[in-house]
Amino acid sequence: MNNDDRIAALARARDYPYPLPDRSYTWRGGAVHDFDPALTKGRIPVLAVGSNQAPAQLTRKFGLDAQAVIPVQRCALKDFDVVYSAHIAGYGAVPAMLQSAPGTTVTLFVNWLSDGQLPVMHATELGAENYHYGRLDGIDLTLEDGGGMLDSVHGYISRRGHVFHENNAVALAKVPATGRQWAAMTTAEMLEKVHARLASEHPLEAFILRLISDTPYRRACIEALSTDSIAFGRHYHIVAG
């Protein structure tokens, strides 16, 4: 790995979940356009809690085809928060998961996916067996831009549970919430905590790069993180994964 690739790999790990817009938008072939609610018709609402909210990640997953369109609608979800899951992605980040959090309202996005787009998203989320694709019922989710409310939504639910750090979950600092009960960190800060727990004898950057390049090592680290993780705290219906 040359120095430019090394810098890019470390940035991708540390910068998760990547820049998130402060409004609903339409993603089209790598570009961001104004949100058009008419485009949601006939599509499946899939809650995005981590990098799937970000245009950059949608571009990684769906490419630059100008015909590929995803309406991405901002929303407020009551009694939940977004915290760090007890696993590590292949690109070195500690990813997000939804967690029950009475009294907290978290700001997220809904990806309105077509029947053809859903398998593409599944391929990126379900292959490593870290998430189930499920349906949450009995929720209080308010869509911005005149979208009304949803009492049911599909999403990717962590099978690993959340990282347990200092007797608590750790929320994602870049995901806004009100009434948040847990301390929040950036992913760069969370990686420092994981490094201190699992591999403090090695330099931090070397640890992150090994997580990316050495799959058996990453899997061993995931198993170590999972030993005291806390499962998702709400009932949901498993649809896939």
Compute the distance between CA of residue 35 and CA of residue 43 in angstroms, rounded to an integer: 15
**CA quadruple 89, 165, 177, 152: dihedral sign:** positive
For the chain, give every domain's residue range: 3-240
pLDDT of residue 127: 87
Per-residue pLDDT of the chain (241 residues; tens, 9 = 90+): 788 999 999 999 999 999 999 999 999 999 999 999 999 999 999 999 999 999 999 999 999 988 899 999 999 999 999 999 999 999 999 999 999 999 999 999 999 999 999 999 999 999 888 999 999 999 999 999 988 999 999 999 999 999 999 999 999 999 999 999 999 999 999 999 999 999 999 999 999 999 999 999 999 999 999 999 999 999 999 988 6
Whether 57 and 51 have beta carbons less than 8 Å apart is answered as yes
Compute the distance between CA of residue 168 and CA of residue 41 in angstroms, rounded to an integer: 40
With H, G, I as helix, E, B as strand and everything else as coil, classify residue 63: coil
**Total-model pTM:** 0.95
Compute the distance between CA of residue 177 and CA of residue 226 in angstroms, rounded to an integer: 25
Among 3.65.10.10, 1.10.10.10, 3.20.20.70, 3.10.490.10, name the CATH number for the domain at 3-240. Answer: 3.10.490.10
Task: Name the residue among 193, 188, 138 with its Cα closest to residue 169.
Answer: 193
